[in-house]
Amino acid sequence: MQISSKFTIAVHMMTCMAYFTEMEKVTSDFLAGSVGTNPVIIRNLMLSLKNAGLIEVKRGTGGATIKKSLEEITLFDIYTAVENEKEKGIFRFHENPNPACPVGSTIHKTLDGRLAQIQDAMEAQMRSVTLWDVIRDTREFNL
Protein backbone atom coordinates (compact mmCIF):
# COMPACT_ATOMS: atom_id res chain seq x y z
CA MET A 1 0.00 0.00 0.00
CA GLN A 2 2.48 2.61 -1.06
CA ILE A 3 0.85 5.98 -1.14
CA SER A 4 1.48 8.07 -4.22
CA SER A 5 0.31 11.59 -4.98
CA LYS A 6 -2.80 10.08 -6.59
CA PHE A 7 -4.29 9.73 -3.11
CA THR A 8 -3.81 13.35 -2.05
CA ILE A 9 -4.90 14.61 -5.46
CA ALA A 10 -8.10 12.53 -5.18
CA VAL A 11 -8.79 13.90 -1.68
CA HIS A 12 -8.21 17.43 -3.04
CA MET A 13 -10.60 16.73 -5.94
CA MET A 14 -13.35 15.36 -3.72
CA THR A 15 -12.93 18.24 -1.29
CA CYS A 16 -13.39 20.66 -4.20
CA MET A 17 -16.47 18.76 -5.36
CA ALA A 18 -18.03 19.08 -1.91
CA TYR A 19 -16.87 22.64 -1.29
CA PHE A 20 -17.88 24.12 -4.65
CA THR A 21 -20.93 21.98 -5.47
CA GLU A 22 -23.41 24.84 -5.00
CA MET A 23 -21.19 27.54 -6.53
CA GLU A 24 -19.46 26.04 -9.55
CA LYS A 25 -19.75 23.29 -12.09
CA VAL A 26 -16.88 21.06 -11.01
CA THR A 27 -15.23 19.85 -14.22
CA SER A 28 -11.84 18.24 -14.83
CA ASP A 29 -10.50 21.62 -16.01
CA PHE A 30 -11.78 23.31 -12.84
CA LEU A 31 -10.23 20.61 -10.66
CA ALA A 32 -6.95 20.71 -12.59
CA GLY A 33 -6.76 24.44 -11.89
CA SER A 34 -7.23 23.89 -8.17
CA VAL A 35 -4.84 20.94 -7.94
CA GLY A 36 -2.27 22.48 -10.28
CA THR A 37 -2.01 19.52 -12.62
CA ASN A 38 -3.04 18.36 -16.07
CA PRO A 39 -6.77 17.70 -16.69
CA VAL A 40 -5.88 14.25 -18.06
CA ILE A 41 -4.57 13.21 -14.64
CA ILE A 42 -7.80 14.51 -13.10
CA ARG A 43 -9.94 12.60 -15.61
CA ASN A 44 -8.06 9.35 -14.90
CA LEU A 45 -8.59 9.76 -11.17
CA MET A 46 -12.24 10.70 -11.73
CA LEU A 47 -12.71 7.40 -13.55
CA SER A 48 -11.23 5.50 -10.59
CA LEU A 49 -13.44 7.39 -8.13
CA LYS A 50 -16.48 6.78 -10.34
CA ASN A 51 -15.69 3.06 -10.64
CA ALA A 52 -15.49 2.90 -6.83
CA GLY A 53 -18.98 4.41 -6.59
CA LEU A 54 -17.78 7.57 -4.85
CA ILE A 55 -18.65 10.14 -7.54
CA GLU A 56 -20.89 10.69 -10.53
CA VAL A 57 -19.52 12.28 -13.69
CA LYS A 58 -21.70 13.82 -16.35
CA ARG A 59 -20.17 13.90 -19.82
CA GLY A 60 -19.22 17.15 -21.50
CA THR A 61 -19.48 20.12 -19.21
CA GLY A 62 -21.84 18.38 -16.78
CA GLY A 63 -19.29 18.18 -14.00
CA ALA A 64 -18.67 15.78 -11.16
CA THR A 65 -20.57 15.32 -7.92
CA ILE A 66 -20.12 13.16 -4.85
CA LYS A 67 -22.45 10.18 -4.82
CA LYS A 68 -22.45 9.32 -1.09
CA SER A 69 -22.77 11.39 2.03
CA LEU A 70 -19.56 13.07 3.16
CA GLU A 71 -19.81 11.28 6.52
CA GLU A 72 -19.77 7.88 4.77
CA ILE A 73 -16.63 8.39 2.70
CA THR A 74 -13.34 7.81 4.51
CA LEU A 75 -9.80 8.59 3.47
CA PHE A 76 -9.31 4.82 3.22
CA ASP A 77 -12.18 4.61 0.70
CA ILE A 78 -10.53 7.26 -1.44
CA TYR A 79 -7.15 5.59 -1.11
CA THR A 80 -8.44 2.20 -2.20
CA ALA A 81 -10.25 3.79 -5.13
CA VAL A 82 -7.16 5.38 -6.67
CA GLU A 83 -4.08 3.43 -5.62
CA ASN A 84 -3.13 0.44 -7.74
CA GLU A 85 -0.68 -1.42 -5.53
CA LYS A 86 -2.84 -2.21 -2.52
CA GLU A 87 -1.63 -5.78 -2.10
CA LYS A 88 2.07 -4.96 -1.71
CA GLY A 89 1.86 -2.90 1.45
CA ILE A 90 3.30 0.49 2.27
CA PHE A 91 6.71 -0.94 3.01
CA ARG A 92 8.78 -2.35 0.19
CA PHE A 93 11.36 -4.78 1.44
CA HIS A 94 14.69 -5.15 -0.32
CA GLU A 95 14.61 -8.48 -2.10
CA ASN A 96 17.89 -10.21 -1.38
CA PRO A 97 19.17 -9.81 2.17
CA ASN A 98 22.29 -11.89 2.69
CA PRO A 99 21.28 -15.19 4.34
CA ALA A 100 24.85 -15.66 5.65
CA CYS A 101 24.63 -12.41 7.64
CA PRO A 102 23.08 -12.55 11.13
CA VAL A 103 21.06 -9.42 10.32
CA GLY A 104 20.24 -10.31 6.71
CA SER A 105 19.06 -13.79 7.67
CA THR A 106 16.62 -12.50 10.31
CA ILE A 107 15.54 -9.07 9.06
CA HIS A 108 12.21 -10.32 7.70
CA LYS A 109 11.42 -12.20 10.93
CA THR A 110 12.39 -9.10 12.88
CA LEU A 111 10.42 -6.52 10.90
CA ASP A 112 7.54 -8.18 9.03
CA GLY A 113 5.16 -8.38 11.99
CA ARG A 114 5.97 -4.90 13.22
CA LEU A 115 5.55 -3.38 9.78
CA ALA A 116 2.19 -5.15 9.40
CA GLN A 117 1.09 -3.61 12.73
CA ILE A 118 2.16 -0.16 11.56
CA GLN A 119 0.23 -0.58 8.31
CA ASP A 120 -2.85 -1.81 10.17
CA ALA A 121 -2.70 1.23 12.46
CA MET A 122 -2.38 3.60 9.52
CA GLU A 123 -5.32 1.98 7.73
CA ALA A 124 -7.43 2.22 10.90
CA GLN A 125 -6.59 5.91 11.19
CA MET A 126 -7.50 6.46 7.51
CA ARG A 127 -10.84 4.74 8.15
CA SER A 128 -11.52 7.12 11.05
CA VAL A 129 -11.22 10.32 8.99
CA THR A 130 -14.19 11.14 6.76
CA LEU A 131 -14.49 13.50 3.85
CA TRP A 132 -16.77 15.55 6.10
CA ASP A 133 -13.83 16.03 8.51
CA VAL A 134 -11.71 17.36 5.64
CA ILE A 135 -14.48 19.70 4.42
CA ARG A 136 -15.10 20.99 7.95
CA ASP A 137 -11.41 21.76 8.41
CA THR A 138 -11.19 23.39 4.99
CA ARG A 139 -14.06 25.70 5.87
CA GLU A 140 -12.54 26.54 9.27
CA PHE A 141 -9.17 27.39 7.70
CA ASN A 142 -10.94 29.72 5.25
CA LEU A 143 -12.70 31.81 7.93
Length of the chain: 143
Query: Which pTM was predicted?
Result: 0.85
- CA angle at 25 for the pair 21 and 29, rounded to the nearest 5°: 120
**Cα within 13 Å of Cα(12), Cβ side:** 17
- Please report, as a single letter, which amino acid is at residue 44: N
The matching CATH number, chosen from 3.60.15.10, 1.25.40.80, 1.10.10.10, 3.20.20.70, for 5-89+129-141 is 1.10.10.10
All residue ranges of the chain with pLDDT < 50 are 1
Q: What is the pLDDT of residues 7-17, one digit of tens each?
A: 999 999 999 99
